[in-house]
Structure 1
Amino acid sequence: MLHFSEDPTITRFVPHVAPTSVRAEPYVWAVGTDRCPDHWFPRECPRALAWRGPTTTDADAARIIGSGCGERVHAVEYGWLQAMRDVRLYAYRLPAEHFAPVGEPPHAVVARVPVEPLGPPEPVDDLFELHEAAGIQLRVLDRLWPFWNEVTASSLEFSGIRLRNARR
């Protein structure tokens, strides 16, 4: 399990209720390796993520992702480009036995007890290079909302993170 943070000094993760959470129970949040790309951004950066799933139509994939452009696209706003260049992001490895899936379908894992990292955090490399190496398109848009509306009305699978910070 992994937790991404801009803070390289965390020695213990304590369950808490995030200010924006719709869940009342305190958790320590983490992700499996399959959801790591969702977090290759500064923490507060709004992003719209879309990918081909088992029920995605070829027409939706071609229209939104692009024909021959891979299986996944991430979109951010121009105002976040410098933060993506400058951020120092760290990945903490956490013991899997404390975590259980959350969400339908599951999009993260949570622990209900304090968790100590398995070792020091690892610096995350250049975020643009990570996207390129993973074959994920990274789009830069003036505003996320038109793209988000297209994605959520399509047959693509999607996730929106920190959208409250997107330009209206």
Structure 2
Amino acid sequence: MHPPKPRLFHISEQPGISIFAPRPSPSNFDNITADVVFAISDQLLHNYLLPRDCPRVTFYTGPYTTATDKQKFIGNTTASHIVAVESGWYQQIKKTTLYCYEFMPDDFMLIDECAGYYVSYKPALPIAVTVIDDIMATLLSRDIELRFMPSLTEIADAVRNSSLQFSLIRMRNAKG
């Protein structure tokens, strides 16, 4: 018996995309051998419900997370995931509209379970699109804690060196 296929999505600030053509991967993955279409699983969709260029540190506990790291980074929150963004992005987050495109999972394969990344070597047609015009309300409707911080540098370094599951996204845009 195979596990159920996940719901897969692509978030964009561009409306009306009718087909997603494979493109070069923006990051190096040893198991990507050609141009691809990226998708994110529903479980980790919150990592991408922000303006494209917004730097963020996202993390959650995994099977090897220590009790010390859980207490230090997660604390007593009941949320399963943490999304930390720079305070300076607050206004941009409030005014950005996102488009959440859903794909059939059939042609996609998992390449990074921790980040929820899937890829397809074939063009992907969206089966649905949802307009997200209130990013914060959408984020807060999910099982996450949204943290605004003056800087992400220290938390990114600490999370990177912890036992947590994490993604550091668009950190090249982070303020020092």
TM-score w.r.t. structure 1 length? 0.90
> CA 1:6 to 1:68, structure 2 compared with 1: closer, same or farther past 3 Å?
closer
SS at match of 2:155: helix
**Gap change, CA 1:131 and 1:117, over 3 Å in 2:** closer
Aligned amino acid, residue 24 of structure 2? V
The alpha-carbon distance between structure 1 residues 159 and 106, as it changes in their structure 2 partners (threshold 3 A), is closer
Deviation at 1:128, TM superposition (A): 1.7
Q: Summarize deviations over 1:12-55 as a string: whole Å, max 9, x none.
A: 1000114x322462110001211211111111111000111112
Aligned with residue 138 of structure 2, among 120, 130, 150 = 130
Q: Confirm or deny that 1:148 pairs with 2:153.
A: no
Correspondence 1:80 to 2:89: yes
Residue 41 of structure 1 is aligned with which of 40, 45, 50? 50
- CA-based RMSD: 1.8
* 1:115 to 1:68, Cα distance in 2 relative to 1, 3 A: closer
Q: Which amino acid aligns with 2:155?
A: F
Whichever residue aligns with residue 72 of structure 2, its letter is: R
Aligned position for 1:159:
167
Structure 1: gaps spanning 5 or more residues: none
Which residue number in structure 1 is paired with residue 67 of structure 2? 58
Is the 8 Å Cα contact of residues 70 and 137 (structure 1) preserved in structure 2? Answer: yes
Instruction: Give the alignment's TM-score, normalised by structure 2.
Output: 0.86
Q: Offset of 1:58 from its aligned partner?
A: 2.1
CA offsets per residue over residues 43-79 of structure 1, 9 Å max, x none?
1111000111112122211111222453321111112
SS in 2 for 1:96: coil
User: 1:46 and 1:64 mapped to 2: Cα distance?
Assistant: 18
State how many pairs are aligned.
166
Identify, as 1 or 2, the structure richer in strand: 2
Identity of aligned residues (%): 32
Letter of the structure 2 residue corresponding to residue 16 of structure 1: R
Corresponding position of 2:27: 21
CA contact (8 A) 1:4 1:92 kept: yes
